[in-house]
Amino acid sequence: MVIRHVHPVKPSSAQGLVAEVYAQVKRDFGRIAEPFMLHSPLPNLLAACWMACRETELAGAVPRALKEAVAASVSNVNHCSYCVDAHSIMLDAAGERKTANAIRGNRYDEISDSNLKLIVQWAKATSTPKAPALFSPPFTRQEAPEIIGTAVFYHYMNRMATVLLGESPLPSSNWLLKGAMERAASRMFQEAVNAPKKRGDSLQLLPKAVLPADLQWAKPSPEIAWAFSAFAKAVEEAGEQALPLEVRAFVQEQLNEWTGKTSELSLAWSEEEIGKLGTDMQASARLALFTALAPSKVDDAVVKEFQLHSPEENRLLGALAWASFAAARKTGTWMRVPPA
């Protein structure tokens, strides 16, 4: 698998914090996968990303299959084929091959397990504010941080993967070979998926920070609150280095009016709005706005234009992370935590 536009740290040459994160990823996730590796040029961002993923999706009391169903369903809604394949494989490894195939094929009526069906319906609704399913979440207040956290994390990761990764983690997209490759990958991850994981093991990587107001859904879980406070801080620091304040304010203003659809971006409208900014900020604004609202529109031309003004590789990664997390945080404000 090729990671586009950034040069990750290879596991064989990792040192310090990057090496520490890679060791945890290999142990708990099963392999040092590209969605984590692409964050490695910014070690704090890598550590924070892993913390948010591990403490929600991998650890905790909610069955892994339920959370993999959330990850796969959110990825399907966001049209991130890489993540749909990856988490269908993980869902299969967790013992839910039929559910994985149903989600991958948009055949949701074939899900026979009532709990899985409810959680999938909820996950599909997370990109639609005021969707009825969000007002009656199929989980408890104590389960909410794990499930909402998994959904928010994949609204973030889908955007990063769409811009920086290919169509699938599998070595070939040939449909004649895909089924066999998926089953082989599922067997490869089976041990790691089903191994017990202690809550909070990743929290040693970064200190706890202030949990922002729009991430308060994490509060019922001290471990997830810590992980997402560190994630928010690392992303904000990366964004401050990568994007001017005016650009971040511009994107945030557009997100305030956003209704959740990843395709909700008229090129004519966006160019008119971007044109109101100074010429030195337009490339940054275009990259950040497209990443947040329509990541499939971030093509090589958009990236190269950004790099002409900001050639440092870490600034591209920081800009993408900030825009992706800004959109993901917005989706989190639509999700309800059940009352105590």
231's tokens = 């994630």
| Residues making up the chain, counted from first to last | 340
Q: Which residues have a catalytic role annotated?
A: 83
Q: Where are the beta strands (DSSP E) in 62-188?
A: none
Q: Phi and psi dihedrals of 209, rounded to 5?
A: -125, -175
Amino acid at 59: A
Q: CA-based Rg of the chain, rounded to a whole angstrom? A: 19
**DSSP H helices in 137-244:** 144-164, 175-194, 222-242
- The answer to whether 258 and 333 have CB atoms below 8 angstroms apart is no
Q: Give the amino acid at 181.
A: M
Residue 13 burial class via C-beta count within 10 angstroms: exposed 0-12, middle 13-18, buried 19 and up: exposed
Contact between 338 and 141 (Cβ < 8 Å): yes
Nearest to 212 by CA among 228, 234, 235: 228
